[in-house]
């Protein structure tokens, strides 16, 4: 039988009533002739509670034991889901990561999936099991210890299973009914997209859209897994949600697909850095070693052998970034006059595969922001994206103005 992967997030399985509702939806797909692999998250709020318990007992805890504790939320959900399906006379069995096994690296709390052998689950399907309920977010290290994949890891688990089992599709059920042109809470004109290209979704996810985890989109693009994002709280239909697919499957699309934003951005500048070969490598190696996630980078024109180096990073990475450059300066690796951090900025981006073949997007974006009196602090571009760093107080105004200017409320 064909395989379908269905993933349900924490809000979808937050209560026993919601688990029963989800189980009925799974039962419909079984009746449609699928062998179903259900990937479940922990019940809403449970992971935060488990993390809180760990931090209360041991703030600097053993990462292996941290993973053993926080992965337990998914195990509970998987067992409850399997029991609910059995009560509906649907042959189901729960699977923890080590039972599959989901083989990962040994980087606890941020492990990466290396292999998912299919033999065990396929054998059970052959024996009459119709639903495998798999605990998301977790796997097993080469040393045989439980690992976790990081926040949002259940999305990655679902796509990895869809790739391994060559599933017909991977449905990601969440508390929203699809991917929108921007956050509907910011712009009332936001429109749900019927389809979006992998590359566009990857950019939107990396730029702040929280519908899908970035790694899950990367996997889907690499293995050509069709993803459908839809709500577990609305009626199901063949046209529900948003399909994330190859660019070739989209007949017509707007030049700009969406406007993304991130509030939690900071701008850091090293003033008067020695302008010599290798200085950028030294700065960003120090930041990398400290685990700082650097995004936008700008270097000013050098004057008299000195230059300024600016980058953006998440606000919660600023302290470690400051420590990293201070240490590098004290060790003589880099030299600068002053390190300045601006914590009151936001990143706003326009994304669209249509930018490859259309000119004028950047000019229009900058004209719109100028007309609203919004100053641009940093600009970066890629083939299908333009991002700017602006004062945070103007973020919502910028998103609304750009959404209107590119007429994203209208379908292509």
Binding positions are 7-10, 47, 74, 174-175, 180, 185, 210-211
Quote the tokens at residue 356: 């490859």
**Which residues participate in the annotated binding site for ATP?**
7-10, 174-175, 180, 185, 210-211
CA separation for the pair 137, 157 (Å, rounded): 6
- Which residue numbers belong to the known binding site for substrate? 47, 74
In 3D, which of 76, 38, 1, 29 has the Cα closest to residue 172?
Answer: 38
Report d(CA 17, CA 167) in Å as an integer. Answer: 28
Residue-wise burial string across 9-36, b where 16 or more C-beta atoms lie within 10 A, e elsewhere: bbbbbbeeebbebbbebbbebbeeebbb
Burial of 388 (0-12, 13-18, 19+ CB in 10 A): buried
Helices (H), 244-390: 279-289, 318-330, 361-371
Cβ–Cβ < 8 Å for 8, 38: yes
306: β partners: 274, 303
Q: CA 76 to CA 64: how far, in whole Å?
A: 19
Strands 306-314 and 297-299: antiparallel
Give the C-alpha separation, 139 to 141, whole Å.
7
User: Which residues lie across from 115 on neighbouring strands?
Assistant: 103
101, 117 Cβ separation under 8 angstroms: yes
- Closest-CA residue to 402 (of 187, 201, 192, 215): 187
């Amino acid at each position: 039988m064909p395989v379908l992967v269905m993933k349900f997030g924490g809000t979808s399985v937050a209560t026993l009533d919601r688990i029963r509702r989800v189980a009925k939806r799974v039962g419909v797909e079984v009746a449609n002739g699928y062998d179903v692999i259900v990937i479940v998250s922990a019940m809403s709020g449970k992971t935060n509670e488990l993390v809180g318990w760990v931090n209360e007992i041991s703030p600097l805890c053993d990462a292996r034991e941290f993973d053993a504790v926080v992965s337990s939320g998914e195990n509970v959900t998987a067992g409850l889901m399997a029991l609910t399906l059995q009560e509906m006379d649907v042959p189901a069995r729960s699977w923890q990561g080590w039972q599959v096994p989901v083989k990962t690296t040994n980087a606890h709390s941020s492990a990466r999936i290396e292999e998912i052998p299919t033999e065990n689950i396929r054998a059970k399907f052959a024996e009459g099991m119709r639903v495998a309920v798999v605990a998301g977010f977790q796997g097993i290290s080469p040393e045989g210890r439980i690992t976790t994949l990081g926040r949002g890891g259940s999305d990655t688990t679902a796509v990895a299973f869809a790739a391994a089992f060559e599933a017909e599709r991977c449905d990601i059920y969440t508390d929203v009914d699809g991917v929108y042109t921007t956050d509907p809470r910011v712009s009332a004109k936001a429109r749900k997209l019927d389809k979006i290209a992998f590359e566009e979704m990857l950019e939107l996810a990396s730029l702040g859209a929280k519908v899908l985890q970035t790694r899950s989109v990367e996997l889907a693009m690499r293995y050509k897994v069709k993803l459908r994002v839809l709500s577990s709280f609305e009626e199901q239909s063949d046209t529900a949600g948003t399909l994330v697919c190859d660019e070739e499957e989209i007949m017509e699309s707007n030049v700009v697909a969406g406007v993304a934003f991130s509030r939690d951005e900071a701008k850091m500048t090293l003033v008067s850095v020695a302008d010599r070969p290798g200085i950028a490598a030294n700065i960003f190696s120090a930041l990398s070693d400290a685990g700082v996630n650097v995004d936008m980078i700008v270097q000013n024109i050098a004057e008299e052998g000195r230059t300024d180096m600016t980058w953006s990073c998440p606000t919660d990475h600023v302290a470690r970034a400051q420590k990293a450059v201070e240490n590098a300066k004290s060790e003589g690796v880099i030299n600068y006059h002053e390190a300045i951090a601006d914590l009151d900025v936001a990143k706003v981006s326009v994304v669209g595969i249509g930018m490859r073949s259309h000119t004028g997007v950047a000019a229009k974006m900058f004209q719109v922001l100028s007309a609203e009196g919004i100053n641009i602090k940093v600009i970066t571009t890629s083939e299908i994206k333009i991002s700017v760093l602006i004062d945070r107080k103007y973020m919502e105004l910028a998103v609304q103005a750009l959404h209107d200017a590119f007429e994203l409320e209208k379908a292509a």
